[in-house]
Amino acid sequence: MTYKVHEEKDRFSSRLATIPGVRTMPSVGDWILLEVDSPSDLARKVNRRLAPGTALGKAFDQGEERSTPPISVPRNMEGQVRVHVRDPKVNEVLLNTLRDVVA
C-alpha cells in the first residue's frame, strides 16, 4: 500500500494534536515539530520503548533499517521535539507510544 506523505502528515499531525500536553507546530518536509514539556526526557523515553529488538521497536521498524530515531530534539529549539512522518501503521505505533509516555 502506498501513501502520500503530505496526506499522511496531515492525518498524523491531527492525531498527535489530540495528545494532552503535545502541541503541533508549523513544520516543513516530512517532519512534524511538537511543543512539549521536557523534550529531552520525552525523546529518551519514547526512543527507549521503540529501541530495535523490543516488541514495539520491531513493530515500529517494520523490518526496515532505521536511519533516524523515532523522535529527536532539534538543536537550538527549546521545548520542542520532532517526529519523522512514515508509513501510517508505523506512525500509529509512535503515536500510541508517545501517548503512553505523556500520560
Total-model pTM:
0.86
Give the C-alpha separation, 2 to 23, whole Å. Answer: 28
As a whole number of Å, the end-to-end CA separation of the chain is 32
One-letter amino acid at 102 equals V
3-state secondary structure of 71: strand
> For 62-80, how does the pLDDT look when each residue is reduced to its tens digit (9 = 90+)?
666 666 788 999 999 899 9
Q: Is 51 left (phi over 0), alpha (psi -120 to 50) or beta?
A: beta
> What is the structure's pLDDT at 66?
65
- Across the chain, the runs of DSSP E, i.e. the strands, are 23-25, 31-35, 71-72, 80-84
β-sheet bridge partners, residue 84: 31
Q: Which has more pLDDT, 90 or 53? A: 90
Could you give all domains of the chain from N- to C-terminal order, each with its CATH number? Answer: 5-102 (3.90.1150.10)
